[in-house]
A and B are shown apart, each in its own frame.
Chain A
């Protein structure tokens, strides 16, 4: 089966750095995705990791350790518009994504 865990909520201050963790146990592994979802909207793609290490993309970075079943999303220079839910999703042996419950990030002024 698939199990993905991430914190339910996090709060951070504008301009700060925040790290959102995700741990997973899945049957098969073909990549880990991070999506951003604003309330009432569709998930939008942020990052993808399939090999161990850090992928950097502007203010967003994502890290993967396959041996530990662990990933994190790092958001730098937080802006108010970054307030959203961040979804960790794993692609197992099939193509579909299994999503975590999401981490609701609130950025305070």
Chain B
């Protein structure tokens, strides 16, 4: 069964450093998402991406964040200068259906646990 994959599974970085989190969405999917989950808190939406551009972003997704689809398979989230409060599990998700309101299930990857020291 196709699945979303993410690398690395764990990342430890120093405050102020740049990190890039990588995702390979399900191959025929058109919509891509990043969510994060701070330990013990709810899953929060960061950004959605379609047709090589951002379609929606939340207040969390400030200028420190960027997303890119550098080739036909990868979807990346970059945090330019990490802060302590960026420590969280970052989930990539993808979905396929063009038509909003249909059963467009988002499938989540296993996540990258980011720890900023």
Contacts and interface: CB of A to CB of B under 8 A. Distances in A.
Contacts of A95: 31, 33, 48, 55-56, 95, 100, 104
Interface in A13-53: 30-31, 33, 35, 40-45, 48, 50
Interface in A63-109: 87, 89, 91, 94-102
A33 B95 CA distance: 14
Interface residues of A, number: 24
Contact of B41 (A30, A89, A101): A101
- Which of A30, A42, A50 lies at the interface centre, i.e. has the most chain B CB atoms within 10 A of its CB? A42
- The DSSP consensus for interface residues of chain A is loop
A66 B104 CA distance: 18
Contacts of A40: 89, 113
Q: Is the interface of B mostly helix, strand, loop or mixed?
A: strand
Contacts of B45: 96-98
A33 to B, nearest CB: 7
Give the interface size class of chain B. 20 to 34
Contact of B56 (A43, A45, A96, A102): A96
A89 B44 CA distance: 10
A1 to B, nearest CB: 11
Contact of A41 (B95, B105, B110): B110
A101 B42 contact: yes
B2 interface: no
Given A42-B111, A44-B108, A95-B56, A30 B101 contact: yes
Contact of B48 (A94, A99, A100, A101): A94
Interface of A: 30-31, 33, 35, 40-45, 48, 50, 87, 89, 91, 94-102
Interface of B: 31, 33, 35, 41-45, 48, 55-56, 58, 89, 91, 95, 100-101, 103-111, 113
Given A33-B106, A45-B105, 16 more contacts: A30-B100, A30-B101, A31-B103, A41-B111, A42-B91, A43-B108, A50-B101, A50-B103, A95-B33, A95-B48, A95-B56, A96-B33, A96-B58, A97-B43, A99-B42, A100-B42
